[in-house]
Amino acid sequence: MTDEVLTRREGVAAIISLNRPKAIHALTTAMCETMIEALQAFAQDDTVGVVIIEHAQGRGFCAGGDINLLRHSALEDGGISGRRFFLHEYRLNHLLFTYAKPVVAFMDGITMGGGVGIAQPATYRVATENTRFAMPETGIGLFPDVGGGWYLSRLPGRIGHFLALTGARFDGAECLHTGLATHYLPVAAQDAAKRRIGNGEGIETVLSDLAEVPPEAKVAANEAQIARHFAFDTLEEIFASLEADDSDWAAKELATLRTKSPQACKVALHELVQSLTLESFAEEMAMEYRIAARVLVLPDFAEGVRAVIVDKDNAPAWNPATPEGVTDAAIAAIFAPLAPTEEWNPL
């Protein structure tokens, strides 16, 4: 148990509150274990009608997983502690995806990486004017995990592929527009929503009553271009499509893509293709665990974290440096099954 996750009751609502504000509530292994224990207890408690996931204080819901912990694992213990983190985080993701009681996630503020993994399985996903949603993993040599392959591959119009490759940030209006959020509430209405839900009012009624019409979703203006340029399942074809377009938008997205790890981008694309062939979320998490176990200890992850988070020079030396340098055989090795005793399994 850790005090970086707080729980409380408000009537029929059991509330899980992330409480690591200095790290924007980035998840640790202990936080995942504590959330699992709490969710399992609430599942057995007949007085709990709904689970609410929120953040206690600070400017974000959850910024992701503890990247520094993962980097130290990659550099110091061959990925052992990193794998342990992924094991518990993915079990948490799966538990939420299959949870028998309704879950309401308030995606207020920064909701990235691991934060997406605990918000997207929720029955109700509430965005606000402060929401900043992203899966930025390709910028540090990782890939959209925590179920990202499942959610992003199933968004309309290749929006998910665009998010997975570029790490683009969506605001609350864009989350509602694309289905990443189910409701849009002003920040000022959140406390009332939680109180009324705890009082036993219907969740849908409460959220609909307090919802407001969001601003126009900025991504809507670019949906046709996203669908056209990100329609391909190979990174080389996406690059070629953007290169053939002389618009400012295409130039901007091409420049963004060129800063990302070619290996991570190819992994992400293959992940999204494979995800659509899977029949269950458990299969998704098993696939993502295999990928995570491999990419954690490949050079691009430690180098990406160094460039973006440690030294902050934003000049990673990717290896391989180009899409052409990432072979089909290398991608196949990343996705290959682990030894039977090492494979991921749900709780």
Q: How far apart, in whole angstroms, are the C-alpha atoms of residue 132 and residue 109?
A: 6
Q: How far apart are the first and last CA of the chain?
A: 18
pLDDT value for 300 = 98
Longest CA pairwise span in the chain (Å) = 60
**Encoded tokens for 111:** 């909701």
Q: Tell me how far apart the alpha carbons of residues 168 and 150 are, in angstroms, rounded to a whole number.
A: 18
- Which among 60, 79, 82, 114 is annotated as catalytic? 114
pLDDT at 156 (0 to 100)? 94
Q: What is the pLDDT of residue 2?
A: 86
Residue 132 located in a structural domain: yes
Phi first, then psi, for residue 87 (nearest 5°) are: -55, -50
DSSP string spanning 9-60? EETTEEEEEE--GGGTT-B-HHHHHHHHHHHHHHHH-TT--EEEEEESSSSE
The catalytic position among 66, 89, 108, 145 is: 145
Give the pair of three-digit tokens for residue 245. 């377009």
Which stretches of the chain drop beneath a pLDDT of 50?
none
- Helix 328-335 to helix 281-295 angle (10° resolution) is 120
**pLDDT tens, 158-214?**
999 999 999 999 999 999 999 999 999 999 999 999 999 999 999 999 999 999 999
Residue 347 lies in a domain: no
**Residue 141 contacts residue 318 (beta carbons within 8 Å):** yes
Which listed residue (137, 174, 271, 288) is catalytic? 137
3-state SS assignment for residue 243: helix
Domain CATH for 272: 3.90.226.10
Spatial CA neighbour of 108 closest among 131, 138, 80, 81: 131
137 is annotated as an active-site residue: yes
- For residue 160, the tally of other CB atoms under 10 A from its CB is 26
Mean pLDDT over all residues of the chain? 97
Q: How many domains does the chain have?
A: 1
Q: Classify residue 12: in a domain, yes or no.
A: yes
Q: Tell me the pTM.
A: 0.97
Burial of 202 (0-12, 13-18, 19+ CB in 10 A): exposed
Residue 114, CB half-sphere, CA atoms under 13 Å: how many? Answer: 26
78 in a structural domain:
yes
Query: Of the candidates 193, 167, 197, 175, which has an alpha carbon nearest to the alpha carbon of residue 128?
Result: 175
Is there a catalytic annotation at residue 114?
yes
Q: To the nearest 10°, report the CA torsion of 89, 90, 96, 98.
A: -160
Is the C-alpha dihedral spanning 317, 326, 156, 152 positive or negative?
A: negative
**Do residues 233 and 211 touch, judged by C-beta distance below 8 A?**
no
Cα–Cα distance for residue pair 341/82, rounded to 1 Å: 17
Q: Residue 84 belongs to what domain range?
A: 5-342
Catalytic residue among 4, 60, 64, 65: 65
CA distance 32 to 18: 10
